[in-house]
Amino acid sequence: EPEVTQTPSHQVTQMGQEVILRCVPISNHLYFYWYRQILGQKVEFLVSFYNNEISEKSEIFDDQFSVERPDGSNFTLKIRSTKLEDSAMYFCASSKRTGGHEQFFGPGTRLTVL
Amino acid sequence: AQKVTQAQTEISVVEKEDVTLDCVYETRDTTYYLFWYKQPPSGELVFLIRRNSFDEQNEISGRYSWNFQKSTSSFNFTITASQVVDSAVYFCALSELSSGGSNYKLTFGKGTLLTVNP
């Protein structure tokens, strides 16, 4: 069964460093998302992406964040200069269609900023 | 005001008990979608069910059942004869067309931690 994959599973970085989180969505899906979950809290929407551009972004997704689909399979989230409060689990999701179709989530990348 | 409220932060039951997880949502849209996701201790988010706002039929899938009531804006989830493997955090989520957008992002509740003891 196709699934969303994410790498790395855990990333440790120093404050101020840039990180790139990678995702490979399900191959015939067209809509891509990033969410984050601070430890013990709810899952929060960051950004949605369709047709090679951002569809919507949340207040969390400020200028330090960017997303890219550099080729036909990868979908990346870059944090330019990490802060302590960026420590969280980052989930990538994809869906075949919009209109409330189910989003399938990857296993997540745990980002720890020291 | 929260769009998705899961009032139960933690529930603890003994195996074989039935348990209901509550979810109340808020939206002005007439078209919207409701979801339940399971997050086991390993951390991944597992899709369980999706309902659209026009389909109030209750659904049963094995030991799982869902009760959608638009009149009370609730979408409750019942596990019958709970098992230890059901122990997880369960999230209810709402998907509505974002204003000015074309995507249906998910808005999650805070989750309910279910612990099933042997």
Q: Is A55 in contact with B32 (Cβ distance < 8 A)?
A: no
Task: State whether residue A55 sits within 8 Å of chain B by CB.
Answer: yes
Residues in chain A with CB shorter than 8 Å from the CB of B107 are 45
Residues written for chain B: 118
Whether A104 and chain B come into contact, CB under 8 Å, resolves to: yes
Enter the DSSP assignment of A85: G
> Is B64 touching A (CB cutoff 8 A)?
no
What distances in angstroms separate CA B51 from CA A61, A70, B103, one per listed residue?
A: 28, 34, 17
* Residue percentage of chain A with pLDDT more than 70: 97
pLDDT in tens, A20-34: 999 999 998 999 999
pLDDT band at A73 (very low <50, low <70, confident <90, very high): confident
pLDDT digits (tens, 9 = 90+) for A55-68: 889 999 999 999 99
Q: How far, in Å, CA of B34 to CA of B52, rounded?
A: 6
Residues of B in contact with A43 (CB under 8 A): 45, 91, 93, 106, 108
Gap between the Cα atoms of A35 and A54, Å rounded: 14
CB atoms B105 and A48 under 8 Å: yes
